[in-house]
Amino acid sequence: MSSLTVTTWYLEQTAPGDLAPAAEPPAAQGVRIVRAERPLPEFSRFLYSAVGGDILWTDRLGWPYARWAEYLSQPGVETWVAYVHGTPAGFIELDGRADGVTEIAYFGLIPAFRGQGVGGHLLSSGTARAWDLGERYEGRPPTRRVWVHTCSKDGRHALRNYERRGFRLYDTTVEQEAVTETPGPWPGAGDTALPVWEGAPRPV
């Protein structure tokens, strides 16, 4: 079995003031960020596979329905979705623990929406929601740390995006990983280039 070298970067913020928000997209771009308040495995699995199909997200593809449902129903686990003119464009998943530490477990955009200024806004909004997560759960302490990891399998701008939002690097690891087939949203779709919507604003 073939393998590849994977570099993983671990980053953190330790105060709400660390967040350096990106500029909000213009209203004409039609971007909204909404929390999926009703945990739904079908929707979360769609987001996971649609975003991660071309960047080797495989660890959850084998999860059965019951495991998805159990995970999503945990207090402190939240999914915030970016919509562009009503269409899901990407998501950020928060995993807030009772000790005041919140992980950005997943973050990314569906390929057709990358490079349009949506990602920085989604990460900014999601990180802000990580910092005020404790306010939405009775008995939870305030968030004292927000952390995330990204790796060389992710999008080529991922690390820089986190750093631009105020995350600081605190650890780096390098490991060999087996190459795993990534089917994408459905078998055979992983290598399919999605067309960019003709009405989409161009990057500036």
pLDDT of residue 193: 43
Residue 193 lies in a domain: no
| Number of compact structural domains in the chain | 1
Q: What's the CATH number where 41 sits? A: 3.40.630.30
Q: What is the DSSP letter of 115?
A: T
Task: Summarize pLDDT for 12-48 with one digit per residue, the tens.
Answer: 999 999 999 999 999 989 999 999 999 899 999 999 9
Please enumerate in sequence order all residues whose Cβ is within 8 A of that of 173, keeping only pairs 6 or more positions apart, or say none: 7, 8, 10
pTM of this structure: 0.87
Residue 113 lies in a domain: yes
Domain holding 114, by residue range, is: 3-178
CA distance 15 to 185: 36
CA distance 182 to 150: 18
Residue 198 lies in a domain: no
Residue 66 lies in a domain: yes
For the chain of 204 residues, list the mean pLDDT of each consecutive stretch of 10.
Answer: 87 98 92 96 94 86 95 96 97 95 96 91 98 94 97 84 97 87 54 45 40
